[in-house]
A and B are shown apart, each in its own frame.
Chain A
Amino acid sequence: MKIKLRDPNIIMKLSRLGSFHQSKLSFLRSFLSEFKDWDYNRDFFNLDQEGYGEAVYSFKKKDRVYSLVCFANPIKDEERSDRVIATKWDAAFTLHDGIPSKDDIKRLKDQVPKQEVGRLTFKELTLSRANKSVRVFNHVVECLSEGRQPDVNLLSKVGYLYRTTAVYGSGKFGLADRFRIKNREEINGPFRLEMMLVYLVRQFTFDQVNHIAHFKNPNKAVKLDDQICKNLGIGNSTGLGMAPFIVNHPTLLNNWILSRETALKEIREIKIVENEDSELFIDCVKKSLTNITSWNTDSEYQQKKISLLLKNVEKFINYIENNFDFKTEYPFNEIYLWLEQNTCEECIEYIVSIMMEPYSNITNPLVSNMSSDEDKYFNIPTNRTVQELQDIIEIKYPNILDINFNQKENHQNFWFISKNKEEPRLADRFEEHGSELEQPLAVARDIKKLYEKLLSEKNNSSIAEFLSLNSELRHVVRRAFIIEKFPYSEIQDNTISKNIVPIDMLRLKLSFFGALKFDPRSDKWLRICMFQGAPLPGELKSYDEQWVYKANN
């Protein structure tokens, strides 16, 4: 049986993309898989009794070394902020390419804590900072120093000791450009070095909390239990900075989604499913319920989604246990069709992610297709004709062409870059100033403009001729020729409508990162947790690949 890839006009809608969940294709899981054979080491740990100072952690294989350099600094409670406008953090980090020399550490000590206003060099690959979850961190220090383990209920509600507020890479603030390292086999997957940084930061948080507790009460203090450590991840606060990324990197977005869709297609095409595979799948679905029931959020929007997800997953388990036989041919196709008929978008995508669990043979080859050499697709094929471009738009953007942009609610918002922090923001164009400086992120509106313009042109005119008179549409002409080859490169929705939920864009990206427990704090930013339940560095050589579903949250 041949199954078609799912229709981009359904999958690339924001509500669907905002229902995606982590899977075996997620970057933090593929990072662990790639680096499990590397030698991990804590090379340097020079913190004072209060936990302030420097530390270096590394992954090494043959001649290649990646070193996380950490700087923990005292800050006042009133200075601590997760917002991008903050200027001080509890700790700052950079991933250095190789072994940092004393001079490197001296240089980095001066620059890394400054974050956006510091300067890095091509020897640094990623940059980040993080703040303590003060309530949890202090509780853990207190308990450990008194010789007992902390309250796991409190820990499970938060899920981490520290949360990062930004992770930068790819040339930002002087960091190495992607092209310098893109041919390294071990980073042939998106955001792999960002994932490495976050993973090593997680270990630093455990080491720091143990260190402080020890010096608080050297005679009595105990270390944080490994099982508790495992169930802690790293939090992250994410705002709109992430949203334009998926619009600005169309071929990369395509490759992420296409990999997921290809995996689903191939799984649906499996005629006979082995017992052990169906058992693993069912086991993961059941165990994942803990992830849903321990998913805390104050957001009413998310609470409703979680509640519906939980009901739907329970309904699905009931169906699988009572009305379904895995011995039937093409069982995952049957399951998928049932999900489409009987459950919500969030549940469909949740189960789709879990379907991948038994099939490393399908997902592993796809992981290496998830990067993109975007420059290769930058040039516009200007010898093509107006008719051809019109056809592409009609085929690839059918729902976009139905939107009436003369209606106020369909162009209510605009995206701009904040002068204060050079970060993307979304605002109401009828209430805020600055819409004349709008960023080119209103793709739906501009595609429709392009289409209407093309209708009045001669069909056999070349795109070169068209562009010579219509340069204001060049950015979307480029995109239309990209989507011709990359069907999942475009969000098939209106990113400036009154009803846009920007966190759907964030969730899409974060699900590919491998984030858990999306916790929207408004419609424009959210908190998540990464690596919760993941193996500790010492366990990497042999770990349970389904750790995501087996954490004791």
Chain B
Amino acid sequence: MRSLSEIETTAKRASRAVGFSWGNSEEVGKSIRLLEMFGLQGIKNLNHYYKEKETKNFEDLNLISEKNEPSSEAFCPIILGISFLDQIKLIENFDSIHFKKIAHPVIFLSFLSRASEISGKKIHFKFDQNEILLNLNVNISSNILNQEFPKFANEIEIKFVNNQDNFTDSEWNNLYKLAENTFVEESDSLKQGAAGAGLTDND
């Protein structure tokens, strides 16, 4: 088995070899390492992408807006991912972000996961029939994790999920009531000797 350190170094060097700058290649190394750590096919997809890149002119998107459409070939998932990371403070204010045509979306996914950590918000990534929730770079949940990841995404929507509870107040209160059963009612004498007892609040 390859170690994550080997994966990161090789992905970085390969990226430099196909023409990315050293700084961008470092980003790719980190991202592919992350995918493999999450059990996603980073190395496999990066290989495919670099093979395709020999014959196709994937489009670089440097400035992200709410709606983004390439003029001909699909967006490069690497430049798109790096732009997303770099512009996160700006684009996290958009209600949603739409893209058309991204090559090898799993590569882009790794950058979204890191963006989720930087912004401190979960990111909902929906493309075609697939939905993925990126949870602060701690985990990734999806309805396609056990399938071959699509090599192409046609219609993509990204939403930042506001930090909110996953449960209702009544569900919380029910559980809290149960938790209260581990507490002990204090006697009056104990209350009188507790921290702060005997002092006025105006001392």
Contact = CB atoms under 8 A, between A and B. Distances in A.
B181 to A, nearest CB: 34
Given A440-B22, A473-B23, A171 B89 contact: no
A458 B86 CA distance: 18
A463 B83 CA distance: 11
A475 B23 CA distance: 4
B5 to A, nearest CB: 3
Given A378-B30, A464-B90, A471 B23 contact: yes
Interface residues of A, number: 33
A122 B3 contact: yes
A379 B23 contact: no
A170 B3 CA distance: 9
Interface residues of B, number: 27
A177 interface: yes
B4 A177 contact: yes
Given A174-B1, A475-B23, A380 B6 contact: no
A347 interface: no
Nearest to A169: B5
A463 B24 CA distance: 14
A505 interface: no
A474 B22 contact: yes
B160 to A, nearest CB: 16
A472 B21 contact: yes
Nearest to B62: A468
B87 interface: yes
A122 B63 CA distance: 41
A175 interface: yes
B26 interface: yes
Contacts of B90: 464
A172 B3 contact: yes
Contacts of B21: 471-475
B114 interface: yes
B23 A170 contact: no
B118 interface: yes
A172 B5 contact: yes
Nearest to B61: A468
B85 interface: yes
Interface in B74-133: 82-83, 85-90, 114, 118
B177 interface: no
B44 interface: no
Given A382-B86, A468-B83, A469-B62, A170 B26 contact: no
A52 B21 CA distance: 49
B2 interface: yes
- Listed residue (A121, A382, A472) with the most chain B CB atoms within 10 angstroms of its CB: A382
Contacts of A475: 21-23, 26
Residue among A170, A464, A469, A476 having the largest count of chain B Cβ atoms under 10 Å: A464
A170 B87 contact: no
A233 to B, nearest CB: 29
A476 B21 CA distance: 11
Contacts of A477: 23
Contacts of B13: 417
Interface string B17-60: 00011111011001000000000000000000000000000000
A477 B86 CA distance: 12
Contact of A175 (B3, B63, B89): B3
A121 B24 CA distance: 30
A179 B5 CA distance: 10
B5 A170 contact: yes
A174 B2 contact: yes
A40 to B, nearest CB: 28
Contacts of A179: 4
A471 B87 contact: no
Given A464-B86, A468-B63, A474 B3 contact: no
A61 interface: no
Nearest to A473: B23
Nearest to A176: B3
Interface string A287-320: 0000000000000000000000000000000000
B23 A171 contact: no
Given A170-B5, A177-B4, A382 B30 contact: no
Nearest to B6: A171
A380 B30 CA distance: 13
A4 interface: no
B3 A382 contact: no
Contacts of B3: 122, 171-172, 174-177
Interface string A16-31: 0000000000000000
Nearest to A475: B23
A379 B111 CA distance: 11
Given A170-B5, A174-B2, A175-B3, A478 B26 contact: yes
Contacts of A478: 23, 26
9 contacts: A121-B1, A173-B6, A177-B4, A375-B30, A382-B88, A468-B63, A471-B20, A474-B22, A477-B23
Minimum-distance CB pairs A-B, first 10: A474-B23, A171-B5, A171-B3, A475-B23, A468-B62, A440-B22, A464-B86, A382-B86, A383-B89, A472-B21
Given A172-B5, A378-B26, 14 more contacts: A171-B3, A172-B3, A173-B6, A174-B3, A175-B3, A379-B114, A417-B13, A471-B20, A471-B24, A472-B21, A474-B26, A475-B23, A477-B23, A478-B23
